[in-house]
C-alpha cells in the first residue's frame, strides 16, 4: 500500500482531483441505485446517513480498483493463471 501512495504522490494534483471527483460521483450513483431498489426515497435519510453510505461505497470502489490493478499487472507479467486461483 505504501508503494501505491508513493505513486499517487507523483501524480499531478489536478489529475488526482479529477479522479477523486469521478470516484465520488460513482459512489453517489451507486447509493442512489441502492436506495431506489430498496423502495425508499433519498429524503428518508439524513445527511449523516447519506455521507456514511457514500463513504462505504467509496471504500468498495477503492478495493475494486486495487483488485483490477492487481489483475492488470498479473496479466501484463503473463501470470494470468495466478489471477484464477
More confident residue, 56 or 66: 56
pLDDT on residue 82:
57
Residue 80 has pLDDT above 60, yes or no: no
Question: ∠ at Cα 21 (63, 12), nearest 5°?
Answer: 90
The stretches of 1-85 forming alpha helices (DSSP H) are 2-10, 13-38, 47-76, 80-83
Q: Which tens digits make up the pLDDT trace of 6-55?
A: 666 676 777 777 777 888 899 999 999 999 999 998 889 999 999 999 99
More confident residue, 34 or 75: 34
Residue 4, all three cell numbers: 501505491
Average pLDDT over residues 55-84: 73
More confident residue, 2 or 62: 62
Give me the long-range contacts of 28-34 (CB less than 8 A, separation at least 24).
28/54, 28/57, 30/57, 30/61, 31/57
Alpha-carbon distance of 61 to 29, in angstroms, equals 12
Amino acid at each position: 500500500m505504501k508503494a501505491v501512495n508513493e505513486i499517487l504522490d507523483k501524480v499531478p494534483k489536478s489529475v488526482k482531483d479529477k479522479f477523486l471527483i469521478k470516484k465520488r460521483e460513482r459512489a453517489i450513483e451507486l447509493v442512489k441505485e441502492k436506495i431506489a431498489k430498496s423502495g425508499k426515497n433519498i429524503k428518508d435519510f439524513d445527511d449523516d446517513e447519506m455521507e456514511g453510505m457514500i463513504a462505504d461505497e467509496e471504500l468498495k470502489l477503492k478495493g475494486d480498483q486495487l483488485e483490477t490493478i492487481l489483475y492488470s499487472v498479473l496479466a501484463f507479467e503473463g501470470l494470468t493463471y495466478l489471477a484464477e486461483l
